Structure 1
């Protein structure tokens, strides 16, 4: 199966998931931004949805919420040509597809443990955890801890399932 496979008929942006295309059509395509980034010099598009991610790539300007995500971007993506091409369509990607497929959805993982974590906590499940400050929702306790630490600068708070 080739990704991304859901394409906007108005602007031709492509999405891996149908819900991504639906959100794009509902909130972005042909619409004025609902939120404005408080940083005057920032032209980062995702800042229109909330606070700017603090970690910026010096080569291309992309922003990331986590330092590890920026590091992964620099190592594997930034300024690199796509080296893997789909044999069925024109889609190209920079990393070889992971060998472990989820049987319920199109997600792939490099390790079997990553796949098992996905199946146990994420795949086709509603979020189990919610931030009481901003209503951020996630499916894993660790993600809520990271959110609280990075977004709200709070460490060591009680976490309860929804």
Structure 2
């Protein structure tokens, strides 16, 4: 993982963790221990899914850049389906407060997406990778000297 990718991950995970912590506090105040547990589960779920997807997308971009856009769209579909599956599995649970879970899930998802958008807009990434000097000149060729100057 390149340093700009790690920076993007950090810039997404930190605000999401902060929103998750706030959601746990709000869940604890409004719904007790089950509210705190539901909010924590929602924030952790979003952070885990989004982190894995970002890592997969970065590796795809490095190894197979030609399928980068398709992989991004596929990963967003998988994220949606995974979260829908978890919501369907836990819709009638009494283990935790489902409202706190749902609101935490929503808040953490919106925070991650906003932070990721901001991180990509602020990143200074080359659109074209500059070539090294030896890549421009084939092996054995000397650099042409400017007109009128001795070699």
TM-score (norm 2): 0.27
Which structure has the larger Rg?
Answer: 2
Query: Which structure has more helix as a fraction of its residues?
Result: 2
More strand by share: 1
Q: Which has the higher contact order (CA 8 A, sep 6+)?
A: 2
TM-score normalised per structure 1 = 0.26
